[in-house]
Chains A and B, each alone.
Chain A
């Protein structure tokens, strides 16, 4: 009995771990609205979940314009839960953020 429950727990844990992988999406070039899921300041990277249930992983480049109320702002202004509008360019399967507007 003990052995069986150990094996079941083990298989469940592995299945859980496998389900954790592959959680971002690739979309066509365009403008998307959504909410910031995660901010990684050390990598100047954000995850945005769009209104259409897609998760975009966006690495800021030197060309990325980040604005709030029409003014340029620093990356440190970004926070989890903020509503944003992002304009992305699809390069291969990479999404380059051209503009990021903080909507609130």
Chain B
């Protein structure tokens, strides 16, 4: 390659987007559980709001991830890691989507008769979601730092940077 590749390019949108839901959803779980443990409704509700925002971001990450997939799958040495990353990302998004649905239904009072049950469900789902989210992130990091997925490798003499 003679010059530097475009930035941002198709496969770069995913890392630009993905860290927002990653941080928001983990923070949501922490605040939600802290709110329950320390009986602080405001903190718990902040966690609930972040679940919904993080889930929207999660699906944006999946859309951009699918775009990146089409580019990097032909370049990396072990696409099975990418496949597992994708599958776990869908599972994570499904779990947090379910959480968001429960949160929204609860907000509008549809779950008033099963308040305790929905709380147990939310706690279970958020713990499972965190596990899948962490593993998905771990696989994403492996793709980048072991296989340079979506990463441009400069020439040995860095000539493209001297123009």
Residues of A bordering B, CB below 8 Å: 2-3, 6-7, 10, 14, 17-18, 20-24, 26, 42-45, 57, 59, 61, 91-94
A11 to B57, CA, bound (A): 26
Residue of B88, B124, B132 near A10 (CB, 8 A) is B124
A18 to B80, CA, bound (A): 16
Inter-chain contact B83/A61, CB cutoff 8 Å: no
Taking the complex as formed, is B45 at the interface, i.e. its CB lies under 8 A from any CB of chain A? no
Inter-chain contact A10/B77, CB cutoff 8 Å: no
- B95: chain A residues at CB < 8 Å are 17
- A44: chain B residues at CB < 8 Å are 70
Inter-chain contact A94/B77, CB cutoff 8 Å: yes
A59 to B69, CA, bound (A): 10
- A2: chain B residues at CB < 8 Å are 117
Main SS class of interface, B: helix
Residue of A3, A21, A23, A57 near B88 (CB, 8 A) is A21
Inter-chain contact A14/B128, CB cutoff 8 Å: yes
Residue of B74, B77, B88 near A92 (CB, 8 A) is B77
Closest Cβ of chain A to B106, distance in Å, is 15
Closest Cβ of chain B to A19, distance in Å, is 10
Q: Mark contacts of B80-99 with chain A using CB atoms, 8 A cut-off: 1 yes-contact digit, 0 otherwise.
A: 10011001100100110000
Using CB atoms, name the residue of chain A closest to B131.
Answer: A14
A10 to B125, CA, bound (A): 8
Using CB atoms, name the residue of chain A closest to B86.
Answer: A21
| 23 residue pairs bridging A and B, Cβ less than 8 Å apart | A2-B117, A3-B117, A6-B120, A10-B121, A14-B128, A17-B95, A17-B132, A22-B84, A24-B80, A26-B80, A43-B66, A43-B70, A43-B73, A45-B70, A45-B73, A59-B73, A59-B74, A92-B78, A93-B78, A93-B80, A94-B74, A94-B76, A94-B78
- A14: chain B residues at CB < 8 Å are 128
A21 to B85, CA, bound (A): 9
- B137: chain A residues at CB < 8 Å are none
The B124-156 residues at the A interface (CB cut-off 8 A) are 124-125, 128, 132
A2 to B84, CA, bound (A): 34
